[in-house]
Chains A and B, each alone.
Chain A
Amino acid sequence: MTQVQTRPAPQAGLPGRDDIRRALGAVQDPELDEPITDLGFVRSIDVAPAARGAAVSVHLRLPTSFCSPNFAYLMASDSKDAIAVLPGVDTVTVELDDHHDSDLINAGLAADAGYRGTFGHEAEESLEELRWTFRRKAHTAAMERCLTELLRADRGLAESDVGQVRLADLPAGRTKDAFLRRREALGLPLDSAAAVLVDHLGNSYPADAVPMALRRARSTRISIDGNAHFCRGLLRTRYEGSGADQTARPEGAEPGESHTLLPITVKENA
């Protein structure tokens, strides 16, 4: 559970913990395509008065010590950036706990060393292409969810026909909203006549390539949903009580999801 610090109420004009949490809600786990606040990755938020505003200190936690360091760094540095721009913030400290690269990443963040300054010879250019890879995957998965929902609801619709489906054909709701957000992120058209099944550049598929494109998109969606739930489960296993900080993810959820933690000594709690 996110630690609640007992400190005096923040001064007027200074951000409070809720403001910080809200700002962190804009930071995504690029791989799982969800805000770090929904995933339970924010371990603690501490706000104290400082010389020119608030001194904000945030601790992040991840499902395993061996989560990819590039994603870990992206989330931690994005967190620092998201807080630094808030009015009334003087200093920001973001620390990643219990990771095999905690020392390296925390030192890099403290020094504002950037990606290459943090990882040295292991970094080549930037993590931008990595972000784009996962934005494209997020779009692919969101697209497949829309089309598979449609296929399951309408048994008369054949897989080979989904190339004809337009945005206007999708029922309103969470699945469509999420899909439109992913399209927007890639700069794809949002008008009601636009085709649903497109690649990341907005190209639709020739009729004979439609079933294969759908099947490929399906395997992407299965991967992301499966991975998202596994990571969430591992976090709950690793940090007792962290489930209380997670927001449910309906995509890929299973009926037996309540099985989360077997009673055994928890090792990583500070």
Chain B
Amino acid sequence: MYSKDGENYFIVDAHIALWDARPENQLNIHGKQFIDCFYDYHRNLSPAEELWPYEDYLYQGSERLMKDLFQDGYVDHAIFQPAYLGEFYRNGFGQTQEAYSLAAANPERLTYNHCFDPRNGEAGLDQLRADHERMGFKGVKLYTAEWHGDSRGYKLNDPWTYRYFEECRKLGIKNVHVHKGPTIRPLDRDAFDVSDVDHAATDFTDLNFVVEHVGLPRLEDFCWIATQEPNVHGGLAVAMPFMHTRPRYFAQIIGELIYWIGEDRIQFSSDYALWTPRWLIEAFVDFQIPEDMTEYAPLTIEQKKKILGLNAAKMYDIPVPEELRIPDAPETATGPRQPERADLGAA
């Protein structure tokens, strides 16, 4: 819980990781390139006083995670969203067992989401069933640019991905977090394209699709599909820290999201350990749209409360104290539209 100026904010950090990118776990040069890319994001977007040494960044461990999130970070509940990256790291990037054990020991504080790769075919489906029986998760994180043998990516509307979504339905896995990454085949097309989310969300209306990084760097494509599909949500991982270095850009991101998809489908996350939640929460509660950006209304306290926790709490049935709950807003002006009208305004 975070309190400021007499207001109380229930905080759900909807995207966190417990990763191991230490050299002994790196399988090849790509393991180093991957964590170095993350670290450059961290260096580029963090305030100087929040900067971690490179060594700390490689691995945090359970104790530090608990301290950064719950002791220092105001977080009431956090959700693991693991990336496997088995082609880059010997024992994977996200540490399944350590994260799951931590969540099992702290169920009121932590939710463990799992991951799958549809390119594992039938064997992967068996594994998903077995993993679900053991860990009982409600959500999965999919990284569509994951490398897998000869393949460097897949789409959500691939036939095998649909098989996995059908299995999710049967198992009661409701929430699908999607991270679009930069390499996908065929290379003829834009790798960040989110149109496959559109298809999957239309065909699986009973699943929630949370597009991480709100589709950045393709915010416009994300907004357009999310506005047509009521089961598509936006996760603010990586978008949040722009508040510090590029506040006008952040204002436009949040202004566009509220315009297109409304305040009830946007979820805060620190993307821990890319960044720590404390400074992001403090900055967001203080944040306001610059006055000269007359195309956007000022952010309200209620909107901030929903984004910082209430929206994700609702999706994950996380109990919120009665006095902190807020009803949904009316539909946005853009409203849900039918997919056949999706060409309108296409430019």
Contacts and interface: CB of A to CB of B under 8 A. Distances in A.
B245 interface: yes
11 contacts: A70-B191, A121-B150, A130-B189, A216-B220, A219-B224, A226-B249, A227-B217, A234-B40, A234-B41, A262-B43, A265-B54
B298 interface: no
B248 interface: yes
Interface of A: 31, 63-70, 73, 100, 115, 119, 121-127, 129-130, 133-134, 136, 139-140, 143, 148, 151-152, 199-200, 205, 209, 212-213, 215-220, 222-223, 225-227, 229-230, 233-234, 236-238, 252, 254, 256, 259-262, 264-265, 267-268
B182 A226 contact: no
Given A127-B188, A222-B253, A66 B33 contact: yes
Given A65-B33, A226-B249, A259-B245, A238 B190 contact: no
B186 A226 contact: no
Contacts of B259: 215
Interface string B163-190: 0000000000000000001110111111
Interface centre among A217, A230, A265 (most CB of B within 10 A): A230
Contacts of B188: 70, 123-127, 129-130
B202 interface: no
Contacts of B34: 65-66
A237 B223 contact: no
Given A223-B216, A234-B41, A65 B36 contact: yes
B43 A140 contact: no
Q: A-B pairs with the 4 shortest C-beta distances?
A: A65-B33, A219-B220, A227-B217, A70-B187
Contact of A216 (B44, B185, B224, B247): B224
A254 B246 contact: yes
B347 A220 contact: yes
A100 B51 CA distance: 26
Nearest to A224: B217
For chain B, give the interface size range: 35 or more
Contacts of B183: 66, 68-69, 100
A129 to B, nearest CB: 6
Contacts of A226: 216-217, 219, 242, 246, 249, 252-253
Contact of B334 (A67, A212, A260): A212
B345 A229 contact: no
Interface of B: 29-30, 33-34, 36-37, 40-41, 43-44, 46, 48, 51, 53-54, 150, 152, 181-183, 185-192, 216-220, 223-224, 242, 245-249, 252-253, 256, 259-260, 292, 294-295, 334, 344-347
A199 B249 contact: no
A136 B217 contact: no
Residue picked from B33, B46, B53, B187, most chain A C-beta under 10 Å: B187
A230 B245 CA distance: 10
B40 A262 contact: no
A236 to B, nearest CB: 8
A170 B196 CA distance: 38
A152 B294 contact: yes
Given A100-B30, A254-B246, A237 B190 contact: no
Contacts of A233: 44, 245
Given A119-B187, A226-B246, A217 B347 contact: yes
Contacts of A252: 248-249
A237 to B, nearest CB: 4
A237 B44 contact: yes
